[in-house]
Amino acid sequence: MTAAPGVPVVDLDLGELRDDPYPAYAKLRHTAPLAWVPSVGRHVVTRYEDIVHAEKLPEVFSSREEGSLLLRTVGPNLLREDDPGHRRLRAAAEPPTRPRQVLELWARTFERTAHELLDRIAGRGEADLIADFAEPLAAANLAAVLGLRNASADDISDWSRAMMAANGNYADDPDIWLRAEHATRTIEAAVAEMAEAVRREPDGSVISSMVHAADPVRLTEIQNNVKVIIGGGVNEPRDVFGTGAQALLRRPDVLDRVLADPGLWKRVFEETARWVSPIGMYPRQLTRNHEIAGIALPAGSRVALVIASGNRDESVFERPDEFDIDRRHRPHLAFGGGPHFCMGAWVARHEVSALAWPLVFGRLKGLRLVDDVDDRMEGWVFRGLTSLHVTWQA
């Protein structure tokens, strides 16, 4: 597939996007808000208003994209499905992730896991909060919500990392595909075992909810959708936690305000998700001819909705490159929109803003960043810190 007629062609280096995509996005918003990017193989949409426009028209901007990397990685799933099929799968999987269920079913487990992880490191006086806390917390919590009692936090993390690498494998690295294939086969076996267990004894988990759905869900559908949830369910809370924690440690005045007023943790969460979107873009394919950003695209056109760019659109957010918990509220795009609004948003909000940040900053006294350590932020399809080295008074 090539550029549609009238669409500017813009060459972007995937390595530079991985290091920091935001300068390129800013330039695109001003000079080519709809552009064909050969390295991505898609028409890239970068303005907030155009992304929102597309999200409101799922019948035009279809999730069923031909050649989707996600489909290749995990098979048919609710993220790459349109209604009514999407609605059927979501209705089966979503109940355990709703706000009330998060509080009633999972909050105590989440808090216990957070304390256990902090107990392991509290006496050390130093840690990498990504590897030692945020990732195992997100993975253990996700295993509980999914109902994967036969998988460890390390298993969930490894599987997530392998599949997310494949879902962003625009360079077509064969080793990445092999690792993803091994992960998905292992997940299928684990899900099959637990699906049989909850068929006999329901436990309120996502797998149990899908097994007992009023509209029957096949085992292969459960397996594929668990794979999808494992991807976003680890990287979103992990990366929001790390980005927000680093931002606060670099701004002691803001951190002091939040510690004095715990109600501000919710603002920190939403601003962090806007500022560095953990999921930076998702693909769509046009079902019919349609105009966007002033250019007519033909049916079949492949489109990338770059929500990370939309979340830094100057026409919507003042000083968008700054982290500011006091900015005037405008809805961000970090969890998507329309029928595909992120199913795990309430899980992530609770485990990070209600538990993880308050417990870390409350228990690790004198927490500060380690000097002269390169805690890199990387990624553009998915973006977050690779590490977060800190010290405190043990």
Write out the two tokens for 105. 């079913």
Is the predicted pLDDT of residue 17 greater than 90, yes or no?
yes
Is the predicted pLDDT of residue 92 greater than 80, yes or no?
yes
Confidence of residue 212 (pLDDT cuts 50, 70, 90): very high
pLDDT value at residue 114: 98
Distance of CA 266 to the CA centre of its chain: 17
Is the predicted pLDDT of residue 219 greater than 80, yes or no?
yes
Q: What is the pTM of this model?
A: 0.94
Q: To which CATH superfamily is domain 14-391 assigned?
A: Cytochrome P450 (1.10.630.10)
Confidence of residue 66 (pLDDT cuts 50, 70, 90): confident
Spatial separation of the C-alpha atoms in residues 130 and 239, rounded to whole Å: 8
Query: How many angstroms separate the Cα of 335 from the Cα of each of 25, 27, 36?
Result: 19, 24, 24
Q: List the beta bridge partners of residue 290.
A: 297
Is the predicted pLDDT of residue 35 greater than 90, yes or no?
yes
pLDDT value at residue 77: 86
- All structural domains of the chain with their residue ranges: 14-391
pLDDT mean across residues, the chain: 94
Instruction: Tell me how many degrees the CA angle 136-138-139 measures, rounded to the nearest 5.
Output: 60
Is the predicted pLDDT of residue 67 greater than 80, yes or no?
no
pLDDT tens column, 142-197: 999 999 999 999 999 999 989 988 987 878 899 999 999 999 999 999 999 999 99
Assign 3-class secondary structure to the chain.
CCCCCCCCECCCCHHHHHHCCHHHHHHHHHHCCEEEECCCCEEEECCHHHHHHHHCCCCCEECCCCCCHHHHHHCCCHHHCCCCHHHHHHHHHCHHHCHHHHHHHHHHHHHHHHHHHHHHHCCCCEEECHHHHHHHHHHHHHHHHHCCCCCCHHHHHHHHHHHHHHHCCCCCCHHHHHHHHHHHHHHHHHHHHHHHHHHHCCCCCHHHHHHCCCCCCCHHHHHHHHHHHHHHHHHHHHHHHHHHHHHHHCCHHHHHHHHHCHHHHHHHHHHHHHHCCCECCEEEEECCCEEECCEEECCCCEEEECHHHHCCCCCCCCCCCCCCCCCCCCCCCCCCCHHHCCCCHHHHHHHHHHHHHHHHHHHCCCCEECCCCCCCEECCCECEECCCEEECCC
Confidence of residue 111 (pLDDT cuts 50, 70, 90): very high
Query: How many angstroms separate the Cα of 63 from the Cα of each of 58, 85, 285, 362?
Result: 8, 11, 7, 42
pLDDT value at residue 294: 94
pLDDT value at residue 233: 87
pLDDT value at residue 68: 81
pLDDT value at residue 79: 82
Confidence of residue 339 (pLDDT cuts 50, 70, 90): confident
Better-predicted residue by pLDDT, 158 or 340: 158
Spatial separation of the C-alpha atoms in residues 115 and 133, rounded to whole Å: 10
Confidence of residue 303 (pLDDT cuts 50, 70, 90): very high
pLDDT tens column, 221-269: 999 999 999 987 899 999 999 999 999 999 999 999 999 999 999 999 9
